[in-house]
Amino acid sequence: MAGQGSRIRIGDRDRDRAVALLGEHFSAGRLEIDEFDERCRRATAALYRADVAALFSDLPEPHPEVLAAPVEVDSRGPGERVPRRMRASVVGISVVVALVALLVVTKQVWIVLPMFGLWFAWFATRK
């Protein structure tokens, strides 16, 4: 990757995904243990897309999604609403937390059943 896109900062999720994919390459026999250890160390310390791209430059697919993701710029101005997807995430997490709290307080096992339904609905609809 060249240009400004390689200087885009990455987050913890991107670093974790890079380490997981390096593990897949290690399991497939493409990396030796020392090289795998070094690349994982560099992946956890990576700050930019270019840092991650260098770790996968000599490896076949799969590569982390951050290397193929377009640069997203938040065009919302002050006072604009949060996207619907983000609001749904907050609501879903709040419901799960409330059910767990109810389970702990009441010690009723049947409360776990709606939690499984919510868990399934939550992860089945995510991309």
pLDDT of residue 1: 42
Specify whether 63 is located in the same domain as 92.
Answer: no
The model's pTM is 0.52
> Would you say residue 45 lies in a domain?
yes
Specify whether 57 is located in the same domain as 91.
Answer: no
What are 98's two structure tokens? 């409330």
pLDDT of residue 84: 56
Residue bearing tokens 């240009």: 3
Residues spanned by the domain of 8: 4-67
pLDDT of residue 34: 92
What are 44's two structure tokens? 């956890």
What total number of domains does the chain contain? 2
> Would you say residue 76 lies in a domain?
no
Is residue 60 within 8 Å of 27, Cβ to Cβ?
A: no
Angstrom distances, CA of residue 85 to CA of 4, 81, 117: 28, 11, 19
> Would you say residue 77 lies in a domain?
no
Specify whether 8 is located in the same domain as 63.
Answer: yes
Given a cut of 90, whether residue 45 has pLDDT beyond it is: yes
Residue 67's pLDDT band (cuts 50, 70, 90): confident
